[in-house]
Chains A and B, each alone.
Chain A
């Protein structure tokens, strides 16, 4: 990398932005260099997304200067930014689901004659670009909604490339991609860099940052706290810049004595999902569950909450055999579920903290069908205090809470039910480091109080840091159980991808 003669594509300096009393950005700086990949990291709320939105012309900064291609620009708008060659690949797949690939790639820049479009030309050009950059061949006229998540991401990038982007900003582009796709995406980004394009890469995955980026800008509390070369700075150092404390503190240590088995699963099978799954989780134990996408791990969790009905096998909670065909039954039988999609399934944003917390346990606080507000308020206040949920009052809408606090409300809902078994499905996805630590602490406390916890996660560091034991599922079967010293991310990764397990055993 040439350090002497760097061509600066975008330079943002002293950007400040307030939302009411909240300081989102405070004299933040960002420098994007041509022919280089810049990593942008920071916890949620650190200002990453705000500064990117300022650059995208979505948010107007209160002060600061922005220089693009040597020219100071004022009054940015999404359209004017694109004209300057700065393109954004948003985290949400911003594509029209019912459009064809060609229509999606050229939306707003259609090919045709006068007002009329040539669908054939657009499809052909799009197919051409996809083939050239990604080696991807799709049937002509494929609809966006029929694409996999990764293919949609690829179409989004193709969109920017079709418009001759000179600066490409990617917000969490790998979140939904499989490994091979991540690799090919990285190849594409490197190729674009070598062609002189400036790339900004925002990611929570530190290893990706380390692997891909030439420079990393770390943000904290609305400002940039430093720009480092990832080849000279370790991931641990970068993380401590982000959270301003030691990484070791992320996974709080605990010591519990395990009780009797609370959740027992034997011979569980689901056609097309998994078979012969057997394990148990004891009181006070945190058991991890992991596997690649499509391995069947997700389906096991869904069967335990009645979202899917197993074709055979036994599920027992505290010795009682259950038939779980709907969540209704699972909840009644003391199983709690923290779903992956918090906004769709975890908490209702439009309801108050109180209504969310008592939702699954209303019968406790009611007499002859009527809710007794006194006992409900008392219980809710207790839980808000116990979990230190940061909310102005119990009747505030969950929408107004931060992501971490929303997740705590979702947990409080099950505490209110006095559930014995907690099934967690990727509870820390898209949660920033600080909130992660709080959730880990909470899990430890739950376990300490005698709950049985099953944690489905694809974050291997998290599994190793939090769990007493980790079960690995490979192609629908338990490929190994790991605990103690054998439980490390290398071993978990190997077992997940089908290598011979160096595990404690296959069934617990």
Chain B
């Protein structure tokens, strides 16, 4: 019986071609990543040379402090993107995270001003943040609503509740914890900066060191494969939304400490959070969102604002440069993907 179907005869030429192709692809990807990182580095180098005091320890710690809130929020967003997949319209996204932080801050500051202790107030803020996260999880996982839409609706609920609670006013707050966060320091590094460092260490360990984190990537990268491997996809996705709510609550404590109050308008942070989480992918070898990459892009955004400030450039440029960078990074990425897309 003769063979009736042509399978390729796998000659040596085919082998080398296949590996050659993937090597070429890896090279292109590398060039893209290095190019984007080089652009970041060039901007930093410019600041180092021309911005007075940019590299001073004081200034750098200041930047880390300023980045703490954005960083913690961006971790929440990153976890949602990891677990839900990075397809921006269908995949994981938490548009409610900044509004959630605003709500938590309002709850925290209001309870403090009513005379509740730090412990109770922090606990309440965390409970509220996680409850909002759970609501997102219910909508996305339980009811199957597109994350973009579900979290959009929850954004409105959270923002409205914040406004109702504070009547759109500044709620001043002071407590031992807040005092410590503002003025405490250890090894010459302020408590606020430590907060970011410790939180980063914990979240990087969980997402990148444990089997749980590994499985989370599988759930987001290929849900079918995760299911076939016996993982409960709904559980992991739900977890990311609740974690995102938790991050919002932690960030709320930090923001109240920085401003000694809860203030309206926290929703404006959303775009920066999104930008940080998305930009972070260029720092990853696999072009996936990572906590380390997110931290780097948060610091980068912080340094960008700081450098402009030191150079007396209007801070109004920051948004624009951030936007242009997103476009640059994504355009180069899609260019590299396009050249490999012939497969």
On whether the beta carbons of B5 and A108 are closer than 8 Å, the reply is no
Q: A90-B228, A99-B217, A235-B1 are in contact. Are A293 and B222 (CB under 8 A)?
A: no
A112 within 8 A of B: yes
Give the CA-CA distance A205 to B1 in the complex, in Å. Answer: 13
Q: Which of A26-34, A217-225, A440-448, A488-496 contacts B (4 or more CB under 8 A)?
A: A488-496
Q: Which of A17-25, A174-182, A247-255, A327-335 contacts B (4 or more CB under 8 A)?
A: A174-182
Q: Which of A190-198, A366-374, A454-462 contacts B (4 or more CB under 8 A)?
A: A454-462
On whether the beta carbons of A180 and B221 are closer than 8 Å, the reply is no
- Picked from A92, A117, A496, the residue with its CB within 8 Å of the CB of B6 is A496
On whether the beta carbons of A99 and B211 are closer than 8 Å, the reply is no
On whether the beta carbons of A117 and B211 are closer than 8 Å, the reply is yes
On whether the beta carbons of A117 and B3 are closer than 8 Å, the reply is no
How many CB-defined contacts (below 8 Å) exist between A and B? 118
Q: In this complex, which of B212, B222, B228, B286 has the most chain A Cβ atoms within 10 angstroms of its Cβ?
A: B228
A78 cross-chain contacts in B, Cβ below 8 A:
227-228, 230
Q: Which of B14-22, B104-112, B313-321 contacts A (4 or more CB under 8 A)?
A: B14-22
Give the CA-CA distance A210 to B1 in the complex, in Å. Answer: 10
On whether the beta carbons of A290 and B6 are closer than 8 Å, the reply is yes
A179 cross-chain contacts in B, Cβ below 8 A:
7-10
On whether the beta carbons of B7 and A207 are closer than 8 Å, the reply is no
On whether the beta carbons of A178 and B228 are closer than 8 Å, the reply is no
In the assembled complex, how far is the CB of residue B87 from the closest CB belonging to chain A, in whole angstroms? 13
In the assembled complex, how far is the CB of residue B234 from the closest CB belonging to chain A, in whole angstroms? 14
A88 within 8 A of B: yes
Residue of B nearest to A462 (CB): B4
Give the CA-CA distance A293 to B17 in the complex, in Å. Answer: 12
Give the CA-CA distance A292 to B14 in the complex, in Å. Answer: 11
B61 within 8 A of A: no
Give the CA-CA distance A98 to B29 in the complex, in Å. Answer: 13
On whether the beta carbons of A97 and B230 are closer than 8 Å, the reply is no
- Picked from A96, A116, A148, A490, the residue with its CB within 8 Å of the CB of B217 is A96
Residue of B nearest to A308 (CB): B342
A268 within 8 A of B: no
Q: A107-B229, A174-B7, A180-B9 are in contact. Are A92 and B224 (CB under 8 A)?
A: yes
Q: A110-B211, A112-B211 are in contact. Are A96 and B226 (CB under 8 A)?
A: yes
- Picked from A96, A177, A235, A489, the residue with its CB within 8 Å of the CB of B222 is A96
In the assembled complex, how far is the CB of residue A201 from the closest CB belonging to chain B, in whole angstroms? 15
On whether the beta carbons of B221 and A99 are closer than 8 Å, the reply is yes
On whether the beta carbons of B218 and A96 are closer than 8 Å, the reply is yes
On whether the beta carbons of B1 and A178 are closer than 8 Å, the reply is no
Give the CA-CA distance A493 to B189 in the complex, in Å. Answer: 73
Give the CA-CA distance A493 to B5 in the complex, in Å. Answer: 9
Q: Which of B9-54 contact A (CB under 8 A)?
A: 9-10, 14, 17-18, 22, 25-26
On whether the beta carbons of A110 and B214 are closer than 8 Å, the reply is yes
Residue of A nearest to B11 (CB): A180
A497 within 8 A of B: yes
B331 within 8 A of A: no
B265 within 8 A of A: no
A235 cross-chain contacts in B, Cβ below 8 A:
1
Residue of B nearest to A460 (CB): B4
In the assembled complex, how far is the CB of residue B223 from the closest CB belonging to chain A, in whole angstroms? 10
A143 within 8 A of B: yes
A344 within 8 A of B: no
Residue of A nearest to B213 (CB): A117
A496 cross-chain contacts in B, Cβ below 8 A:
6
A82 within 8 A of B: yes
In the assembled complex, how far is the CB of residue A102 from the closest CB belonging to chain B, in whole angstroms? 10
B231 within 8 A of A: yes
Q: A96-B218, A146-B22 are in contact. Are A115 and B210 (CB under 8 A)?
A: yes
Give the CA-CA distance A460 to B17 in the complex, in Å. Answer: 25
On whether the beta carbons of B224 and A99 are closer than 8 Å, the reply is no
On whether the beta carbons of A205 and B5 are closer than 8 Å, the reply is yes
On whether the beta carbons of B8 and A292 are closer than 8 Å, the reply is yes
B235 within 8 A of A: no
- Picked from A90, A108, A180, A182, the residue with its CB within 8 Å of the CB of B215 is A108
In the assembled complex, how far is the CB of residue A476 from the closest CB belonging to chain B, in whole angstroms? 12
- Picked from B1, B205, B209, B221, the residue with its CB within 8 Å of the CB of A97 is B221
A79 within 8 A of B: yes
B103 within 8 A of A: no
Give the CA-CA distance A178 to B7 in the complex, in Å. Answer: 5
Give the CA-CA distance A94 to B221 in the complex, in Å. Answer: 11
A319 within 8 A of B: no
A312 within 8 A of B: no
- Picked from A95, A96, A115, A181, the residue with its CB within 8 Å of the CB of B211 is A115
Give the CA-CA distance A291 to B7 in the complex, in Å. Answer: 10
In the assembled complex, how far is the CB of residue B99 from the closest CB belonging to chain A, in whole angstroms? 30
A110 cross-chain contacts in B, Cβ below 8 A:
211, 214-215
A294 within 8 A of B: yes
On whether the beta carbons of B10 and A459 are closer than 8 Å, the reply is no
A103 within 8 A of B: yes
B212 cross-chain contacts in A, Cβ below 8 A:
115
Q: In this complex, which of B1, B8, B14, B222 has the most chain A Cβ atoms within 10 angstroms of its Cβ?
A: B8
In the assembled complex, how far is the CB of residue B263 from the closest CB belonging to chain A, in whole angstroms? 38
A116 cross-chain contacts in B, Cβ below 8 A:
205, 209-211
B205 cross-chain contacts in A, Cβ below 8 A:
116
Give the CA-CA distance A125 to B209 in the complex, in Å. Answer: 18
On whether the beta carbons of A117 and B228 are closer than 8 Å, the reply is no
- Picked from B5, B10, B230, the residue with its CB within 8 Å of the CB of A181 is B10
Give the CA-CA distance A117 to B231 in the complex, in Å. Answer: 17
B221 cross-chain contacts in A, Cβ below 8 A:
96-99
On whether the beta carbons of B5 and A460 are closer than 8 Å, the reply is yes
On whether the beta carbons of A107 and B25 are closer than 8 Å, the reply is no
A459 cross-chain contacts in B, Cβ below 8 A:
4-6
B9 cross-chain contacts in A, Cβ below 8 A:
178-180, 292, 497
On whether the beta carbons of A178 and B14 are closer than 8 Å, the reply is yes
Q: Which of B297-337 contact A (CB under 8 A)?
A: none
Q: Which of A144-171 contact B (CB under 8 A)?
A: 146-148
Q: A94-B228, A98-B221, A107-B229 are in contact. Are A207 and B5 (CB under 8 A)?
A: yes
On whether the beta carbons of B6 and A292 are closer than 8 Å, the reply is yes
Give the CA-CA distance A489 to B222 in the complex, in Å. Answer: 40
A148 cross-chain contacts in B, Cβ below 8 A:
18
In the assembled complex, how far is the CB of residue A429 from the closest CB belonging to chain B, in whole angstroms? 11
Q: A94-B222, A98-B217, A179-B10 are in contact. Are A88 and B228 (CB under 8 A)?
A: yes
Give the CA-CA distance A142 to B296 in the complex, in Å. Answer: 25
On whether the beta carbons of A493 and B218 are closer than 8 Å, the reply is no
On whether the beta carbons of B214 and A79 are closer than 8 Å, the reply is no
Q: Which of B178-195 contact A (CB under 8 A)?
A: none
B56 within 8 A of A: no
In the assembled complex, how far is the CB of residue B26 from the closest CB belonging to chain A, in whole angstroms? 7
B225 within 8 A of A: yes
Binding site for A on B (CB under 8 A): 1-10, 14, 17-18, 22, 25-26, 205, 209-212, 214-215, 217-218, 221-222, 224-231, 286-288
Top-6 shortest CB links A-B: A178-B8, A179-B7, A108-B229, A180-B10, A293-B8, A96-B221
Given contacts A97-B221, A496-B6, 8 further A-B contacts (CB under 8 A): A95-B222, A96-B226, A107-B215, A115-B210, A115-B211, A117-B209, A117-B211, A177-B7
Give 18 CB contacts A-B under 8 Å.
Answer: A94-B222, A95-B225, A103-B218, A107-B215, A107-B225, A107-B229, A110-B214, A112-B211, A115-B211, A116-B209, A174-B7, A178-B9, A179-B9, A291-B6, A459-B4, A459-B6, A460-B3, A460-B4
